Amino acid sequence: GWFDVYVKGTLDDFMLMNNGKYRLVMMAKGHGVDSLRGLEYPDQKLSEFSDPLSWFDYWLKGVDNGAMDTPAVRYFVMGDALTPGAPGNEWRSSDRWPVPHTPLSFYFTKDGALRIAPPEDEEAKRTYAYDPRDPIPTIGGSNTGENQGPLDQRPLKNRADILRFASAPLEKPLEIAGQVLVELFVDSDVAD
């Protein structure tokens, strides 16, 4: 699932080992759970896209059932789960991962913006004070247990020990499929 703590390893392994014999199915799920806390996505009906029994029948029993005629990758594109009819919340297929795409870069700015254009001030920086006696709680995300999934982060917004970056409202939907990478430079005034 997209919210599984092992999602990066799963995708990396698929890209390394895929020789046409493997299949990848990615859903809006967490680790070992059928539902997530937070946003609720439409029923993803896994059986329509991946029948594990036919896969096992093909590989273990030699049954010629068309298991290898399916796309190598089936992935659920998450969308706005609160607005009926919003784009996304549908299955896509591809013969490879990552899917064909056009890379897009965003840049953090010293005023807390997230922009497509590189910042003019290359030496810009933001700071915060970290206090180990008051750690930032983990709310959702890719982890195990009850606290996983797309949970609302607004309870953390007023903490002084979090740096937030926000873009202007999007003019049209933006689909992101694949690995998101961050290049971040960090300094600390504490001995390492």
Tell whether the torsion through CA atoms of 157, 186, 128 and 110 is positive or negative: negative
- Residue count (the chain): 192
pLDDT at res. 47:
62
Q: Count Cβ atoms within 10 A of the Cβ of residue 174 and give its class: 0-12 exposed, 13-18 middle, 19 or more buried.
A: exposed
pLDDT at res. 63:
94
| Coarse DSSP helix, strand, coil percentages of the chain, rounded to the nearest 5 percent | 15, 10, 70
pLDDT at res. 161:
95
Reported confidence tier of residue 51, pLDDT bands at 50, 70, 90: confident
CA-CA distance, 25 to 68, in Å (whole number)? Answer: 14
Reported confidence tier of residue 118, pLDDT bands at 50, 70, 90: confident
Q: Is the pLDDT of residue 150 over 80?
A: yes
Per-residue pLDDT of 27-41, as tens digits, reads 888 887 666 677 788
Enumerate residues 6+ apart whose C-beta is below 8 A from 109: 115, 119, 124, 165
Which pTM value belongs to this model? 0.83
**Residue 52: which H helix or E strand, with range?**
helix 52-61
Q: Are 73 and 99 in contact (CB under 8 A)?
A: yes
Pick left, alpha or beta for residue 139 (phi over 0 → left; psi -120 to 50 → alpha; otherwise beta).
beta
